[in-house]
Structures are given as C-alpha cells and as structure tokens.
Amino acid sequence: MLIISDEDIEKHVSMREAIDIVEKAFREYAKGFVKMPPRSTIMLERFGGSLSLMPSYLEESGALATKIISIYPKNRKRGYPTTAAWIVVNDPETGVMEALMDATYLTALRTGAVTGVASRCLAPRSPKIAAVVGCGVQGRMQAWAMAEVFNLEKINAFDISRERIECFARELEGTLGIDIHISENCEEAVENADIIATATTSKTPVVRRNWLSKDVHINAIGSFYPDHRELDSEIIKDAKVVVDSREAVLDEAGDLLIPIREGKITRDHIYAELGEILLGIKKGRTNGDKLTVFKSVGLAIQDSSVAKMVIDKMRKR
C-alpha cells in the first residue's frame, strides 16, 4: 500500500494536469459512467465544524476512492487548516486498499482545477483582470487555476483579514509572476474584474449584484451548506447559472437554495451542469451572456480522479 503525503502531491502534480484530469472526470459524469452517492455529512455545531464522507467510482478511469473531509472555519485560530482531508484509494477489481493519502493539498488543487475547467467554458473572451475574494488556502488555488488557463494581467485580492491579503500577494506575485492588487474592500476588488472567484468561509453574501457592471464570470466555491452563501440573490437571478451537479447543489448550496426559498428563482433556473457543456449538450458562454456563475459544492469524482492520477504517477516512479 502506498502512503502519500501532501508534499508528494504538491511536488508531482501540476495545476495543468489536475485541470485536464478533472475535466475528463466531469465528461465521464455527464456520460453516466460514474457512481457517486450524495456526500454524507455530520454537523458538529457544538464545535463549529463538519465531517463528510465522499466515495466515488469512475468506471472509464478505473478510479475508486473515498475522501474524508473536515471543515472547521475556526481552526485558523487554533493553528490548524480550515479544510483538512484524507483519501483511501481501492482497487476496483479486488477492493484491496491501494493507497492512503493526505488530501488537504489535493482538495485545494482539485477545487482550483474545476474553476479552471468552468472558466474556460464560461469566462468572457480573453479575461485580463481577475478578482479573488477570500485569500485562504482555496483562494490561492483559485488564483493559480485562473492564471493557468488565461493570460491575466492583474489579480485583485480581498479578504476581511489584511494580513492574509498581504501574505497572499507576496506569495502569488512570486509564484505566478502576476501583479496582485490589494483591494481595500470587496466592491473595489470585483467592480472591474472580468472573472471572479469567491473562496470565503462567509455565511452571508460577500459579492453584490450592483457592484458588477462589466461582463463577468463568477466561480463561487466557498459555501456548501444550505444556509450559507457568498453571492446575493440578485446575482443568481440575473446570471446564467452552471453547477457541478444539480443534485448536489440542490442539496447543499445556499447560494441557490436561499433565492429559491425567497421565491426569486426556481430550480429550473439552473441552466446546465458543467459536464453537459463539456459534452456539447448545452452551450457555454455565448455573446449575449453578460453574467455567468459557476456554483461548485465540490464532487467526490474530482478527488477520486486526481487521486488515481497520483498513484499511477507514484507507481511509475
């Protein structure tokens, strides 16, 4: 059995490879070659956290894996990550356990990767200015993925913690070689952006419709509880909304469930799943689209597909 650390994955898997493998997984999902029960979550209200189990099997890729993920937004103060995860990979033929791996880095990588895939389908042509709201672990990968698929000139960064934006700017200017602008508030960060990623732990909207005047695409990845959201109802109402999975977002995504409860939209407002666009069943961004939103709650297929690629690479080495 292979034991694989976050450091191994960081060293051996690039964002480009993660984007390609995650895109393949979404195609497989849209073709119906995937087994993926809904995420099973235990809420630990007393400690302000949650623990989820995420199994999936991708038939074409032969990837069978289960992720355990904990989300504890107050953990930063304790010196632990907000999002921490582990994956068990099994051989689909025998069920034998092939690998046990850290998946904290992998989770951030695959969450960035799906933003890369969705942004290629939905962003306005040749975006130059990106905005990242929430400069934590996921925010870094959101920036990396957008920079990987587009030739960006600038990334506006905003977080409620000035210290975190400054750290984000220092780190990413070095690694991505793109100008990172420290925004004083969220409105300033998003108003001129062509593409936005929200990756916060906020329970209430961080981006407002009336701040957006240009044609823009938003990747909203931060919230996956029914009563939390990062975008206001007006954004969702005006946007062409694409999701990772209809079933999953209608179960978990406050970004959509709250406007549905308010009567602002119905379930039919969801235009497509990402896989449907990748297979050409539905169109991605068209010239008439002013505002597009990709809402991702995160699917187990992203984890299993990347985990399989990791063990294939490790075995070769």
Return the residue of 90, 202, 219, 292 that touches ligand NAD, per CB under 6 A. 202
Identify the helix (H) or strand (E) that includes residue 39: none
Rounded Cα gap, residues 88 and 231, in angstroms: 34
Q: Does 239 help bind ligand NAD (rule: CB under 6 A)?
A: no
When the beta carbons of 216 and 231 are compared against ligand NAD, the nearer one is 231
| Cα three-residue angle 271-121-216, rounded to 5 degrees | 80
Q: Of the listed 67, 240, 295, 308, which one is catalytic? A: 67
Return the residue of 172, 199, 216, 274 that touches ligand NAD, per CB under 6 A. 199
Instruction: Write out the binding residues for ligand NAD, residues 206-235 only, by CB under 6 A.
Output: 206, 221-224
Residue 293's CB is within 10 A of a number of other CB atoms, namely 26
- Whether the CB-CB separation of 220 and 293 falls below 8 Å is answered with yes
The CA-to-CA distance between both ends of the chain, in Å, stands at: 15
Instruction: Write out the binding residues for ligand NAD, residues 2-21 only, by CB under 6 A.
Output: none
Return the residue of 56, 70, 183, 200 that touches ligand NAD, per CB under 6 A. 200
Return the residue of 52, 56, 107, 115 that touches ligand NAD, per CB under 6 A. 107
- Whether the CB-CB separation of 164 and 136 falls below 8 Å is answered with yes
When the beta carbons of 4 and 141 are compared against ligand NAD, the nearer one is 141
How big is the site for ligand NAD, counted in residues (CB under 6 A)?
A: 30
Both tokens of 79, joined, read 């010196």
Q: Does 138 help bind ligand NAD (rule: CB under 6 A)?
A: yes
Tell me whether residue 128 is one of the annotated catalytic residues: no
Rounded Cα gap, residues 168 and 180, in angstroms: 9
Return the residue of 21, 64, 71, 306 that touches ligand NAD, per CB under 6 A. 71
Q: How far is the CB of 130 from ligand NAD (least distance, A)?
A: 16
Return the residue of 121, 131, 133, 277 that touches ligand NAD, per CB under 6 A. 133
Return the residue of 127, 136, 254, 259 that touches ligand NAD, per CB under 6 A. 136
Both tokens of 104, joined, read 């904290």
When the beta carbons of 148 and 159 are compared against ligand NAD, the nearer one is 159
Q: Which residue has the tokens 């235009």?
A: 271
Please list the residues that pair with 276 across neighbouring strands.
Answer: none
Alpha helices in the chain (DSSP H): 6-12, 15-31, 75-78, 104-122, 137-149, 162-176, 186-190, 233-238, 246-252, 254-261, 274-278, 300-316
Rounded Cα gap, residues 163 and 76, in angstroms: 13
Q: What's phi and psi for 186, nearest 5 deg?
A: -70, -35
Both tokens of 173, joined, read 């200017």
When the beta carbons of 222 and 275 are compared against ligand NAD, the nearer one is 222
Q: Does 164 help bind ligand NAD (rule: CB under 6 A)?
A: yes
Site residues (vs ligand NAD, CB under 6 A)? 71, 76, 82-83, 107, 111, 133-139, 158-161, 164, 199-202, 206, 221-224, 296-298
Catalytically annotated residues: 67
